[in-house]
Structures are given as structure tokens and as C-alpha cells.
Amino acid sequence: MAQTNEKINLEELFESLSEELPEDTDLSELSEKWQYYLKHPIDLNKTDGMELIELQFIDPLLIQRLIEHRQVSGNFINALEIQSIAGFNTRLVSLLLPFVKVGEASPLTGNKFKDVSHEFILRYGRPLELTKGYQITDTTRSRYLGDPNRFAIRYRANLKDEIRLAINMEKDAGEPFFRDKQKLGFDFYGISLFVKSIGPIRNLVVGDYALQFGQGLSMWNGLSFGKGGLVQNTARQGIGVKQYTSLNEVNFMRGITGTLQLQRFEVTPYFSYRPIDANVVDDSAGTRVIKTIAQSGLHRTATEQRYRNAAHQMTYGLNVLWRYNRFKIGIHVNQSQLDAIRLRGAAKRQQYDFEGDVLQNISLYTNYTFRNAHLFGEYANSLDGGSAILLGSIVSLHPRLSTVVLVRNYRKNYHTFYGQGFGESGNTANEEGMYAGLTYQLARKLVWSSYMDIFRFPEAKYQADTGSVGADFFSQLSYIWYKKGQLILRYRNRLKQTNYIGQGQTESGLVNSSKQQLRIEFQYKLNAIWTIRSRAEANLFKREYEDNSLGYLFYQDVFWKPDINKIQLNTRIAYFQTDSYDNRFYAYENDVLYASGFGMYHTKGWRAYVNLRYKINPNLDIWAKYGVYYYPDKDTIGSGLEEISGNRKSEIKLQLRWQL
């Protein structure tokens, strides 16, 4: 199953973990880990649960049940036994099976570790139509300083899974390459060395690393997922120290860290010093001040080049975790210092933002599993005044029914540079809410998932200049044919308040809006070679005092993998039409290895792409992708420096992988 449904499973996993991610989000941090466990499956008879946590889609209550099942019933004889464990419904089992094994794997899986393994990837991509930013020759105007080519190099070395080396290099489209301000070539370089164990020290990382503690209120680097089809995933499972291997250029640490095991205590000190992108100027007194911190990682124009590495951030801290059977409690403290003073913005929504050059945080987090309940929570405080708290539980009310409840209260003046707490907004501040969800297995092949999230923003936020409220309702019914396919029916309704920009006034200055979405998706494995997937989706957007707007999307995917196993192909053809930007769609798109992402479907047009993989020999693979958006009713696409003359937007991508 790992060989035949690999791409299908990864797509479903990403869309289940998060509904909407930006187009340029690099998902390699997680896809690389999944690919690793596809090649080296987790032994159910040896795991202590940490590897299962790394998969990110199994809730802690089920992990505990799996380990208890092994302790009571003895070792697993076959991986399919997980179907007999309460809570492991057909959908979850189908997602998990490719990543696990029992005992020694067969020679076909390639699971035997070599003493040393190497992987080298060279990736090239570029748009085929030049945007306005490349065509401007006037050096006094804003323009792209580099060419439209994208390059990325990735190298991985693994010594018996005990020592791992990761090297990344990347140049984005529009950035200079070995010239001007990029005389060193690539815009981004990343390197990290991971050592699994040195005596009492484990998970030692030198270079780029990520930290994930508690529920993410104070410290969570790398990817974080919000509301999605896997309802129980709202309970974060911090894995502590991890090697950072992503091409995302923000929200990671650069320095040294490691975990010291002292009986029941795990002590993790860390130190990081790295440049950040910022608009830095001198004030009237000659003091360096930061007006804005940039998070895009792009350095294409003169302004973006001026922001590049303009400030530095030093962060250090300590995390102490104590474990006792099913109980964990941890404390985390850190301090971040900037080499310039950050100023808050002038907008209403920025009036409580952090201002200064030193920020200190402290948090206390815990979780406890008791019988059929998993309780978790975290309290965090920024020592300049604000606090944040999150409490939750996952409870199995019946072998077929489990629920999750989560409440959160993030104060308006709580500040964190690295927090990514669960919520409707992304800044872990100025938000209160309650989330309640359930998963019910109606029959062996039929699973129903649903959640309700009600939230409130006490103060101004983006697109709302005063306090506002909202709600999010989600329901999904999944019918699964084991190893064959599935049928999914999904409904979602999101309610929000935003500024009123029409004539006249409203009592609060806000208007109510709603976006209802309906999706039906069918996926089926026709035979050992062909798999198909079809989706139809529609949405209705309503805002007071405005006309309703509609959007719909249809796409057909085809996966072809012949028995010779040298060549694979998948393709998509999609048609979409949206009346407004509020009706836009996001859908996961397959790509070359480690480069998958979410595409945005907006206005009226067609989207098509084709991916091809060819295995030249056991050590050498090549991938190629061509994708195109076609807008029949447009003369131009995009705006500003990204404007394209014409109605077509296309790109190509080539990737070569050598492994030994």
C-alpha cells in the first residue's frame, strides 16, 4: 500500500491537517519526514510513541491505546491488528498503514539501514511568462533585480539514523544570483547537524533547528496546522528539539540545542543568533529602530534587499519537562533580544503590539492521560504584561465516538516572537474561543467528523477596527473502501464580522459575513496501475448590504503507475469560477518530491498540470512538472510587479535526485 497510494495519502494528510495554506508554503518539513517513514516504517513492537507523534495525524489518546494494547495483548503479529484498537477507524487505519510495520520488513521495502546513506537533490523552476517586474529597465523604479529562475539544492547524509547532516541552498525567482548584493550566490543557506544520542544527551543539533513545546503558546517553530478534517489534531504534541530542514526562511532557530536526560527529567537549553529581515531606520536621536519585520523571505527588489538581514535576533532559553507514567509537566522560559528597537504600528489593530528590544516569555504546560481521557493545557506570560491560556481534552465516550473540547484566551497584550497557538488568527493574541469536535464511526466503512468553533476578538484586528465575533462550523462524512478508495461529503460555514465600507453607517461599524462551502470528492483505485480522483466544490459568500457571490471548482486527477515501477505520472485538469476574491478556493497540488503545496483558484479559468517521475537507475530519479493557469476572459493577470500581459500563467519545474 505504501508503494501504490503514497501520493494519494500525502495529499489527503495535508488537506486533513489544514484547510488553507499560502501558495508558497514549503511543506517539505513534514513531507520529508513522511517520505522517511514510508521508506523506513515504524515498528509497532518497538516504538515508544515518539515516531508516531512525528507523523502529526494521530492524537495522543490513540497513541497511548496502541502502546497499552501491545503491553496487554503482547507484540503485534500483523500491522492490521490496529483495526481492533478502539478509535482506529477505517480512515485513520488507511492513512497509518503505509508508515508502520511489524518486525523485519521484506526486502522490497528497502527498510534495511545502510551504515551511511546520502541524498542529493537539485531543483530548477521558472515561470514561462515574464511579469512586469522583469521588464522594467529604469533603475529608479521598483523592479526585480534578478532573473526568474529558481534554484534549490538539498543534501542529506544519514549515519545509521544516529547522525544526520542537512544542507539547503535556495534562490527564489527575481533574486540576484552571484552578483549585486548576492555575490555569495544563493539567497538562503541552511545547515544543521543532528546527533541522536551522546550519553545522557539526546537530540543534539548544531546549526538550524526547531523547537516545539507544549501547545505552542510560547515556542513553536516550523509548520503548525489549524482546523481541518482530522478533528483530534487540535491537541498539539510538542516533540521538543528537531532538526530544521525546510526551505522556509523564517521562524526557525540557528545555533545549538540538545536535550539532557536526567531520569524523569528532560532538560533542553538552547541558544540562537540569526539575522532577520526588517525595515530599520535611524530616528531623530540616531537610535536604530525597526518599523516592520518582514516574513516573506523574498529579496527581489531594492526595498526587499534593503530589508534583508537588516537586524539580528538573539534568543536563548530553557525547557524542563518531567514525566511520570501518563503525566507530563513542563516549564519553558526564554528571552529574545533585538539589536534595534521595534516600534509598534500606527493602525488600530497594532496599538497593543510589542514595542522594545527585549522580550521575555515564560510558560507552564501539562498533559495527562487517564483511562479514556487525555487532558492538556498551557499557560504563557510575556513579562511585559500579557498572558495566554489554552485548556483542552480528548475523551473517548464509546469505542466508536470520541470528542475534543478546547478553550483559549489570548490577551490583547500577550507578545511572543515564536508562539503559534491554536486559533482563528495567527498571532496568538487578542482572541478568545471555544472549539468542540467529534469523530463518530457510524459503521465499519463510514466515519463522521464534525466541529464547531466560536471565537471573539476583544480589540481591533485585520479588517475589523473594533471588537468582533465569529464562528466556524464543519461537518464531513467519509465512506472508505479499504485499499480501494473513498467518498467524502463535506460542509463548512464560516461567520465573521468585518469593517463596513459602504455608504452610511452601521451601529458597530462592522457587518456580518458568511462563507458556506460544500464539497464532494471521490477517489478510487481502478487497478494496480490507474487511480482516479474527482472533486466538485461550491461556495456562497454573503455580506450585509452587498450582493451574494458564488464560486465553484471542478477537477479531475489521474494517477498512473505501471508495474515496471520506472515511471510514474499524475495529472490534473480543473475548471473554476469565482465572483469575488472572497470565493477563492485552495486545493493541494502534487509536485516534485518535497515540493508539494496548495494552489489558489480565483476568478474564472482553467488549471492543468502534469507531473512525471522517471527512475533512471536504483540511485537516480528525475522529476518534471508543467503547470498552467488559463483565464479566457482576461487580458492581464496579477497586479504590480507580478502583472502578466496575456491570459496564461505557466511554470516548469525539473528535479534530479541521487541517493546512495
pLDDT (mean) for 441-446: 88
Are the beta carbons of 454 and 432 closer than 8 angstroms?
no
**Grid coordinates standing for 324?**
511520570
pLDDT digits (tens, 9 = 90+) for 632-660: 999 999 999 999 999 999 999 999 999 98
**Cα–Cα distance list, 316 to 127, 219, 270, 359, 566 (Å):** 41, 12, 6, 11, 48
SS (H, E, C) 479-524: EEECCCEEEEEEEEEEEEEEECCCCCCCCCCEEEEEEEEEEEEEEE
The mean pLDDT value for 274-303 works out to 93
Percent of the chain with pLDDT over 90: 66
Cα–Cα dist 271/277, whole Å: 20
Q: Which three cell numbers stand for residue 362?
A: 515564560
pLDDT(107) > 70: no
For 274-285, the pLDDT digits (tens) are 999 999 999 888
Find out whether 498 and 470 touch, Cβ atoms under 8 Å. no
Are 589 and 610 in contact, with CB atoms under 8 Å apart? no
**In whole numbers, what is the pLDDT of the chain averaged over residues?**
90
Residue 569 and residue 624 in contact, taking contact as beta carbons nearer than 8 Å = no
What pTM did the predictor assign? 0.91
Interval 460-515: pLDDT, tens = 999 999 999 999 999 999 998 867 888 999 999 999 999 998 877 777 789 999 99
Here the cell at position 176 is 540576484
Query: pLDDT at position 380, please?
Result: 97
**For helices 28-39 and 6-17, angle between their N-to-C axes, nearest 10 degrees:** 140
- What number is the average pLDDT over the span 505-530? 91
Q: Is the pLDDT of residue 28 over 80?
A: no
Position 222 pLDDT exceeds 90: no
CA angle 531, 535, 537 (to 5 degrees): 175
Residue 288 confidence (pLDDT) above 60: yes
Is residue 226 scored above 80 in pLDDT?
no
In the beta sheet, which residues pair with residue 312? Answer: 275
pLDDT in tens, 228-257: 777 877 888 888 999 999 988 999 999 999
What would the pLDDT profile of 36-52 be if each residue is shown by its tens digit? Answer: 888 889 999 988 888 88
Q: State residue 264's pLDDT score.
A: 93
CA distance 1 to 106: 13
3-state secondary structure 381-450: EECCCCEEEEEEEEEEEECCEEEEEEEEEECCCCCCCCCCCCCCCCCCCCEEEEEEEEEEEEECCEEEEE
* DSSP letter for each residue of 148-216: S-EEEEEEEEEETTTEEEEEEEEE-TT---SBTTBTTS-SEEEEEEEEEEETTEEEEEEEEEEEE-TTS
Joined together, the cell numbers standing for residue 606 give 482553467
pLDDT of residue 236: 86
347 has a pLDDT exceeding 70: yes
